Amino acid sequence: MTHPTSSTVSIPTHMSVQIPTTMGLDLSDRVSTFHVQRGDGLTLSVGKVASTRTQLTGLFQRWKGCRVVMEAGGHSPWISRLAVEVGMDVIVANPRKVELISKNDRKTDAADAEILADMGRTNVKRLYPITHRSQQAQFDLAVPRARTEIVRARTGLINHVRGVLKSNGYRAPSCSADSFARKMSEEGAMPAGLAHALHPLVSLIAQVTAQIQSFDKEMERIAAERYSVAQHLQQISGVGPVVSLCFVLTLDDPERFASARDVGAYLGLVPRKKGSGKSDPQLSITKAGDREMRRLLVIAANYILGPFGPDCDLRRFGLKIIGGGGDRSAKKRAKVAVARKLAVLMHHLWRTGEVYDPFYTAKRRGELVVA
C-alpha cells in the first residue's frame, strides 16, 4: 500500500506548507477506531483495529511516517510508545481540553477519531499535547501505587475492627496502623466472644503491614539504584521517601517544564479562572494531572503547617494565609498553596542540585530567622 505522508497546501502569500497525513485513533479497551486524512483533508482510510500489540503494529507500519493523534487514557502510554517505535509522529491529546470531543452532541468512536485526525492536521495546539512518562518510570511507579492501594485496604480493615468493637461496648487500643495488629494480639485486647470474627482480620492486617514494609524497602532500593535525586529532595521537612520518589517518577524529566512554576499547573494545584468583565471569582483548583501526586503533596503540606512542622519559609508562607483567625477555608487554601510552592521548590532543587535552605526567602528579605 502506498500513501502520501504529507501534502503541499497553497496559501495566499504564495508560500507552501507541508501538512502531514494524520491518523486519528480513538482508543478503546478491545477495539479502537482510526480515521486517516491526507494533508489537504481528504479521507484516505477509516476502520477499526483490535487494541493489541500485533494488530496496532500492523496498522502503524502501513502508515509509517505519518502523524497519529490519540487521547490520553489507560492504553495511551504503551500505544504511544509502540507508535514511536514503529516510526510514527505521535501526539497525545489532553482529554480535559478537547471540548469538540467531550461536548459533541453526536459522540461516536468514528466521530471522535475523525475529530482527532482533523485537529491533529490543522490545529495541534488546541489538543494541548501531553508527554507520557518513560516505560521504566511507569514500571517503577507501579510500586508506590501498589503501596497506596494496600495502605488504603489496611485502613479499611482497621476501621472495621474498631467499629465492631465500639458497637459492642469495647475500644481498640490507641496506636499507629503499623502496630495495630500487634496491639490487638495482646492478651485482653480482643473480647472472647468476638475472636472468631476479628482474629482472622487482625491476622490479615499483620500480613498487610508486613507487605507495606516490603514495599518500603523496594522503594528504597529503586531510589538508590535509579533515582538518587529522590534522596536529595528529602532535605525538605515533610518530604519523605514516598513523596520524593513519586514526585520524581511522576514528572520523569524536569526539563519538560520551561519554568518551575509550570509544575503547579501540571499537577492541578492552581486555581481555575473564569473572569469576565469586572467579575473574577475565586475558584477551586483545576485538579488536573496526577491525582495521587497531588494528594501526597497536600499531605506533606499538612505536616509542614501542623504542630510538628519546623519553622521554615514554607511554613511561614502558609501561616500568613491562615492568619490569626484559624478560619477553616483559609487553612484549606493554605495547604493547597504550600503544596504548590513545595512542588515548585522540589522541581527547582531537582534541576539545579542546590542544597535546600529552609530560610532562603527570609534571608533575602532580611527577616529575622527564629531558631
Q: Is the pLDDT of residue 3 over 70?
A: no
pLDDT of residue 11: 46
CB-count burial class (<10 Å; 0-12, 13-18, 19+) for 160: middle
Question: What's the pTM?
Answer: 0.85
Distance CA 139, CA 225 (A): 14
Calculated CA dihedral for residues 277, 283, 285, 286, nearest 10 degrees? -50
pLDDT of residue 89: 96
With residue 49 as reference, give the H or E element that holds it.
strand 43-50
pLDDT tens-digit series, residues 128-172: 999 999 999 999 999 999 999 999 999 999 999 999 999 999 999
pLDDT tens-digit series, residues 223-263: 999 999 999 999 999 999 999 999 999 999 999 898 888 99
Q: What is the DSSP letter of 258?
A: S
**C-beta separation of 68 from 23 below 8 A:** yes
Q: Is the pLDDT of residue 17 over 90?
A: no
Confidence of residue 10 (pLDDT cuts 50, 70, 90): very low
**C-beta separation of 248 from 233 below 8 A:** yes
**What is the rounded average pLDDT for all residues in the chain?**
91
**C-beta separation of 37 from 21 below 8 A:** yes
φ/ψ of 44, rounded to 5, equals -100, -35
Q: Is the pLDDT of residue 368 over 70?
A: no
With cell 506533606, the residue in question is 300
Parallel, antiparallel, or unpaired: how do β-strands 22-26 and 67-71 relate? Answer: parallel
pLDDT of residue 276: 67
Confidence of residue 371 (pLDDT cuts 50, 70, 90): low
Distance CA 338, CA 314 (A): 6
Q: Stretch 259-269: mean pLDDT, rounded?
A: 92
pLDDT tens-digit series, residues 76-94: 999 999 999 999 999 999 9
Parallel, antiparallel, or unpaired: how do β-strands 16-20 and 22-26 relate? Answer: unpaired
pLDDT tens-digit series, residues 282-314: 788 889 889 999 999 999 999 999 999 999 999
Q: What is the DSSP letter of 124?
A: G
Q: Is the pLDDT of residue 105 over 80?
A: no
pLDDT of residue 277: 65
